[in-house]
Amino acid sequence: MNPFKERKNILDAIGKITRLTFSTDEKAADVMKTCPGCGEKYGTGELAAAKYVCPSCGQYISMTAYERVSQIADEGSFREFNKARTGYDPIDFPGYEKKIQKMRKDTGLKEAVVTGSCTIGGEKAVLCVMDKRFMMASMGTAVGEKVFLAFEYAVKKKLPIVIFTASGGARMQEGIMALMQMARTSAAAARHDEAGLLYIAVMTDPTTGGVTASFASLADITIAEKGALIGFAGQRVIEQTIGEELPEGFQRADFQLEKGFVDMVAGRPELKDTIARILFIHGRRRH
Amino acid sequence: MSDEKDIRKAAAEIAFGEDLHAEEQEAKGAGASVRSGRKTAAQDAVEKVMKARSKERPVVTEYIDNIIEDAMYLAGDRCFAEDESVAGGIGLFRGLPVTFIGHRKGRDLEENIRCRFGMPNPEGYRKAIRLMKQAEKFGRPVIAFVDTPGAYPGKEAEERGQGQAIAECIKTMSRLCVPVVTVFTGEGGSGGALAFASGDRLIMLENSIFSILSPEGFASILWHDGSRWQEAAKVMKLTARDIKDLGVCDEIIPEPEPEEMHEKRFFDTVADTIWRNLGPLLSKDEGELVRDRYLKLRKTGSKYGRN
Ligand SMILES: [Zn+2]
């Protein structure tokens, strides 16, 4: 094919992606959320339409994993994997079972990550979204297993994978077995990489600790959501170590861009377009 | 962060019985109660943390110098700096060319400080990655030694990508086309330890520990009080025995009396154990080696693969 014509086709297709409409989840429209920036109250439907950016003050409002999925996946395309998958209590940690039960009741989630397959701008992909409402999206045996299995599915089906990371780190209550999830998810990411498949990480607020030090940092293309806190050690610990206060903006998305650890910082409203474009370009390469 | 409040509340709910506190008082008074036979697994964990950190134990470079013939230390990450908190190099292990890496805590205060007590900066992990890839190129097995409280939580470490460096180190080791045997000689804390422990075989000395975080860090995160590290140690399941029961550790090396740990006989035992674990790995071809390592990791840490 004429390379100029091919280029035009690609640009046309990208234009099409940009014009795609986003789905909104109307079911939960009666649940009100309050903007932490200005105190304004919004219905979920209204917020979804505004892409979870406060219409009056511009503040990013926390999204649940399913809200994120509905913003990123094409409408009706998401098929969830291992929805009922849970972890276990490997070190019999006092009070842990009870805490997990409460978390499940409060969030309606079984665990801190939602995984599945979908299309994004018409491109097939595996999508994982961590949900910080569930124990700060800490990684234990369930999160590790679900992310691991999502990578394996992507390898088996030769699909790209998109992961929205958010985490307080490895889950303390699961001890060493939580730490081992860093090795498991990293090995799974490596195998996906060796298969020549694309991995896009979107680091959202906050991506820290053992998740930063494993799969979150192993993507081909890394996007930081505007304003997200991204780092390994906690700020309190660093300040104790160095005996001084950290500067404003330390470990934030723009800091990581400046230091060279992310490819770009994207605003929430542009995320879907950006991901769709990257997927599109990779979907058109020669095999 | 609203979760902090939840965690604090959960911590308050956790019932540490009075008997545990009583034991704690005992531990403060007498290390001799070890042999009294009355000690619980929880108390044993506290003692093991202290032993794992004891200054009387051999440091990683002592193992290297006693086990590897003609050990030659190599420096630098080729990006930014040499990080002395990671010792690495090449030598012969019973006639077999090997690459070794390990945490260096230092032998005296001056060295301790230069090595940040065995807490690497990103350069340390990047140096390890460089040496592992070099080992792969020349078909040399990797012997790794772990003795670290964790990765260094410094401002500059963050600026230079501590998380990314650890992630790459784990990834590299987990897919390396040459055998990797890891020995825990003292403390193994958090991702900083795991960076050298995603290989084929994981061996622990009897009084070494492997934990998600240092007990102080664990207590600080869950209870906002690092001084409650003994309580943390009791519930973390961090002893070699615990780690083996959880299916993460493959073999435990019994320890002699502390003063005998610097004798040739003990280093020979450690070398024998490494050799015995390395043997079956050497007969595997590259594909088999990497596949088996992946399958082991696939099973470890899954509730379906648990022992
Ligand atoms: Zn607002």
A156 and B CB contact within 8 Å:
no
For residues B42 and B50, give the distance between their C-alpha atoms in angstroms, rounded to a whole number: 13
C-beta atoms of A186 and B300 within 8 A: no
Looking at the structure, tell me whether residues A19 and A153 fall in a common domain: yes
Looking at the structure, tell me whether residues A77 and A134 fall in a common domain: yes
- Per residue in B244-303, pLDDT (tens digit) is 999 999 999 999 999 999 999 999 999 999 999 999 999 999 999 999 999 999 998 788
Which residues, including other chains, have CB under 8 Å from residue A6's CB and lie 6 or more apart?
A: none
Q: How far is A152 from chain B (nearest CA, A)?
A: 10
Residue in chain A nearest B294 by alpha carbon: A187
Q: How far is A195 from chain B (nearest CA, A)?
A: 13
Looking at the structure, tell me whether residues A184 and A202 fall in a common domain: yes
Which residues, including other chains, have CB under 8 Å from residue B30's CB and lie 6 or more apart?
A: none
Looking at the structure, tell me whether residues A39 and A134 fall in a common domain: no
Residue A97: HSE in the Cβ half-sphere, 13 Å Cα cutoff:
6
Q: By C-alpha distance, which of A226, A213, A212, A223 is closest to A254?
A: A226
Q: By C-alpha distance, which of B59, B55, B44 is closest to B209?
A: B44
Could you tell me where the beta strands, DSSP code E, fall in chain B? 69-73, 86-93, 96-103, 142-148, 180-189, 201-205, 209-211, 251-253
Take residue B199 and report the two structure tokens written for it. 């290989």
- Contacts for A20-23 with beta carbons within 8 Å, 24 or more apart? A20/A74, A20/A121, A20/A122, A20/A272, A20/A276, A21/A75, A22/A48, A22/A51, A22/A70, A22/A71, A22/A75, A22/A272, A23/A70, A23/A73, A23/A74, A23/A75, A23/A76
Residue A153 main-chain phi, psi, to 5 deg: -60, -45
Residue A41 belongs to domain spanning:
29-62
Contact A71, A286 (CB under 8 A): no
C-beta atoms of A232 and B157 within 8 A: yes
Residue B12 has pLDDT above 60, yes or no: no
Looking at the structure, tell me whether residues A49 and A151 fall in a common domain: no
Q: How far is A176 from chain B (nearest CA, A)?
A: 5
For residues A135 and A143, give the distance between their C-alpha atoms in angstroms, rounded to a whole number: 11
Report the share of chain B in percent with pLDDT over 70.
86
User: What are the boundaries of each domain within chain B?
Assistant: 55-210+248-297
Q: What is the DSSP letter of A22?
A: P
Residue B146 has pLDDT above 80, yes or no: yes
Count: domains in chain A: 2
Q: Which CATH number fits domain B55-210+248-297: 3.40.50.300, 3.30.70.120, 3.90.226.10, 3.40.50.720?
A: 3.90.226.10
- Residue A171's alpha-carbon distances to A28, A99, A115, A134, B7, in angstroms, are 30, 13, 19, 11, 12
Looking at the structure, tell me whether residues A114 and A17 fall in a common domain: yes
**Residues in chain B within 8 Å Cβ distance of A246:** 155
- What CATH number is given to the structural domain containing A69? 3.90.226.10
In the prediction, which pLDDT does A10 show?
A: 52
Looking at the structure, tell me whether residues A144 and A38 fall in a common domain: no
**Residues in chain A within 8 Å Cβ distance of B298:** 148, 184
| DSSP output for A64-94 | -HHHHHHHHSPTT--EEESTT-----TT--T
Could you tell me where the beta strands, DSSP code E, fall in chain A? 32-34, 41-43, 79-81, 113-120, 123-130, 161-167, 199-207, 221-225, 264-266
Q: What is the DSSP letter of A247?
A: P
- Residue B201's alpha-carbon distances to A242, B145, B173, B293, in angstroms, are 36, 12, 12, 9
In the prediction, which pLDDT does A219 show?
A: 98
- Predicted complex ipTM: 0.89
Looking at the structure, tell me whether residues A57 and A170 fall in a common domain: no
Looking at the structure, tell me whether residues A98 and A113 fall in a common domain: yes
Looking at the structure, tell me whether residues A117 and A127 fall in a common domain: yes
Place of tokens 């401002």: B155
Contact A257, A138 (CB under 8 A): no
For residues B48 and A160, give the distance between their C-alpha atoms in angstroms, rounded to a whole number: 45
Tell me, letter by letter, the H, E, C secondary structure of A124-144.
EEEEEEECCCCHHHCECHHHH
C-beta atoms of B237 and A91 within 8 A: yes
- Minimum-distance CB partner of A182 among B15, B194, B306: B194
pLDDT band for B143, please (50, 70, 90 cuts).
very high
Residue B207 has pLDDT above 50, yes or no: yes
Take residue B76 and report the two structure tokens written for it. 């630098």
- Minimum-distance CB partner of A176 among B212, B293, B302: B212
Place of tokens 């842990």: A96
A31 and B CB contact within 8 Å:
no
**Residues in chain A within 8 Å Cβ distance of B211:** 175-176, 179
C-beta atoms of B210 and A94 within 8 A: no
Residue B33 has pLDDT above 50, yes or no: no
- Per residue in B165-206, pLDDT (tens digit) is 999 999 999 999 999 999 999 999 999 999 999 999 999 999
Q: How far is B213 from chain A (nearest CA, A)?
A: 8
For residues B154 and A232, give the distance between their C-alpha atoms in angstroms, rounded to a whole number: 10
Looking at the structure, tell me whether residues A128 and A206 fall in a common domain: yes
| DSSP output for B47-114 | HHHHHHH-TTSPPHHHHHHHHSEEEEE----SSS---TTEEEEEEEETTEEEEEEEE---SSHHHHHH
**Residues in chain B within 8 Å Cβ distance of A107:** none
3-state secondary structure of B176: coil
Full-model pTM? 0.89
Take residue B71 and report the two structure tokens written for it. 């050990």
**Residues in chain B within 8 Å Cβ distance of A189:** 171
Q: What is the DSSP letter of A229?
A: B
A231 and B CB contact within 8 Å:
yes
pLDDT band for B305, please (50, 70, 90 cuts).
low
Q: How far is the CA of A41 from the centre of ligand 1 (A)?
A: 8
**Tens-of-pLDDT digits for all 287 residues of chain A?**
454 555 555 545 544 443 333 334 434 445 788 999 999 999 988 999 999 999 999 999 999 999 999 999 999 999 999 999 999 999 999 999 999 999 999 999 999 999 999 999 999 999 999 999 999 999 999 999 999 999 999 999 999 999 999 999 999 999 999 999 999 999 999 999 999 999 999 999 999 999 999 999 999 999 999 999 999 999 999 998 899 999 999 999 999 999 999 999 999 999 999 999 999 999 976 55
Contact B191, B150 (CB under 8 A): yes
In the prediction, which pLDDT does B37 show?
A: 47
Where b means 16+ CB within 10 Å and e means fewer, A80-89 reads ebbeebebbb
Looking at the structure, tell me whether residues A97 and A48 fall in a common domain: no
What's the mean per-residue pLDDT of chain B? 89
Residue A161 main-chain phi, psi, to 5 deg: -125, 140
Report the share of chain B in percent with pLDDT over 90.
83
A242 and B CB contact within 8 Å:
yes
